[in-house]
Amino acid sequence: MSWQQIIFGFFSYGILLYSLVLLAFYLFIALFAIGEIRHYLWANRFTDYRVLAVSSNAPGMSILAPAYNEAATVVENVRSLLSIHYNNLEVIIINDGSKDESLQKLIAEYDLHKVDFFVQERVATKKVRGVYKSANPVFHKLIVVDKENGGKADALNVGINIAGKPYIVCIDVDCILEQDALLKMAKPFLEEKGYRVIASGGVVRIANSCLIRNGRLEKVNLPDRFLPRVQTLEYIRAFLLGRMAWSRMNGLLLISGAFGAFEKEIVIACGGYNHKTVGEDMELVVRMRRYMEERKEPYKVTYIPDPLCWTEAPVSYKILGRQRNRWTRGTIETLRFHKIMFLNPRYRLLGMLSYPYWLFFELLAPIVEFAGIAGLLLSALFGFLNWSVFFALLGFIVSFGFLYSIFAILMEVLTYNQYKQSKDILRLVLTAILEPVLFHPFVVWSAIRGNIDLLRKKNSWGEMTRQGFVVKKNP
């Protein structure tokens, strides 16, 4: 037996085993998600959320929205945040040292004045320049904070220091929230299940091509362009299947930075957002969970599958590449900070399943895939490759991937059905077919680039230039 054979055999066995476990996970996630979503829909279909809106016992919530150079849309977005249905609410906009007119526009529009405000530094942050409130009593829920630029995590930490309510809701300022979003997010914190709910995640949906009027979603449309459309599919798959299944097992590690609610005291006890990583959203959840595990307190991170938050997805490969590159680096950094949990029974499901899953199947997947392709090319070169087996295997894997995507679309149709035309569903199916060729390789490549960049210690955030929503006046 030659050394090539040993290496090659090891290699193929490894990849085969890896693929089998991955396929098993996918099957398991799909099945688990069905049960969880069905239960959620059954339990909440007859819920009257307005009762919470009109109750004086609703828990207080602070919305934290960091804004950096958002002058184009910030006034409108604040207005839409202020019209959210929730009474015990404060809306905190953190101007993270914008270089444009964001702050001036807000001051002019909402009649803001600097107030005496003692900012308690419960989490260390960059310097706060001033706190503004409106002289118009109609906008008494609004607080605008001006601070020196320090990045998103730092801005959120300032928000945490200023927030006066027991729950914080962290969002991207350019997200569009449904008006009952907070009512739905608040519910899990009020339920009595014998554990403490420390955080609640929301779904993020893609708003490209949707009709937006005055900062509010008027009509949902499937994105016209391929790139946002394929991300729509990707988000449906991740949120409706993946997160749902993980939340059922209480193994959720990531709450999207675009929309999540947290118990403030625990966030502060953990030290707030970590500004040393570009994946601050995931890192916070992992740290909060670790904190609870180490104190052996029963807790849960819940997740709301209703489409409550809409955001614009990147439309160019360049910006998408930066975003994925950043996600990869964030994941690696987070897992590295908390490597003590890896296969550590002290952290129960978190250490034994969630962490290893993320390590092997979120983080390593692109690397394994990349290595697999490289190995394939090599073996073709050496003449090892049995082409008919190869094509059969490829065909099988690709059809499995399709089926998983189609299943996600089916779940969407049967639950929230945001895209009501048969035409749209067919376009999504077509997108699923094109994805392995036009989208997937690019995502893998961006992830590899993320790994490389991290090795080279690149720590910038990957600036995201925005295209702006389709704004139409009503006819």
In the region spanning residues 139 to 198, those forming contacts with other proteins, defined by CB under 8 A, are: 140, 179, 187, 190-192
Please select the residue that binds other proteins; options are 29, 30, 37, 52, rule is CB under 8 A. Answer: 52
Q: Which of residues 291-330 bind other proteins (CB under 8 A)?
A: none
Q: 2-31 mask for other proteins (x: CB under 8 A)?
A: ---xx-xxx-xx--x---------------
Please select the residue that binds other proteins; options are 31, 403, 434, 464, rule is CB under 8 A. Answer: 403
Spatial neighbors of 215 by CB under 8 A, at least 6 apart, are 73, 76, 77, 79, 80, 176
Measured CA distances, 69 to 99, 395, 403 (Å): 6, 47, 42
Q: Which residue has the tokens 């996918």?
A: 26
124 is a site residue for other proteins (CB under 8 A)? no
CB of 443 to other proteins, least distance (A): 22
In angstroms, the CA 60 to CA 86 distance is 9
Amino acid residing at 30: A
Name beta bridge partners: 128. 147
- Total residues in contact with other proteins, by rule CB under 8 A: 72
Amino acid residing at 223: P
H or E segment and range at residue 442: helix 440-455
Q: Which of residues 334-393 bind other proteins (CB under 8 A)?
A: 384, 386, 388-389, 392-393
Nearer to other proteins, 286 or 432 (CB): 432
Please select the residue that binds other proteins; options are 4, 21, 55, 343, rule is CB under 8 A. Answer: 55
Dihedral of alpha carbons 284, 288, 293, 299, sign: negative
Q: Which of residues 30-49 bind other proteins (CB under 8 A)?
A: 42-43, 45-46, 48
Spatial neighbors of 72 by CB under 8 A, at least 6 apart, are 466, 468
CB of 12 to other proteins, least distance (A): 5
For residue 179, give both structure tokens: 């008006």
50 is a site residue for other proteins (CB under 8 A)? yes
Please select the residue that binds other proteins; options are 51, 377, 464, 471, rule is CB under 8 A. Answer: 51
Amino acid residing at 414: L
Which span sits near other proteins by CB under 8 A: 82-90, 285-293, 315-323, 342-350?
82-90
Nearer to other proteins, 148 or 265 (CB): 265
The rounded radius of gyration (Å) of the Cα atoms in the chain is 23
Please select the residue that binds other proteins; options are 361, 402, 442, 445, rule is CB under 8 A. Answer: 402
H or E segment and range at residue 189: helix 181-190
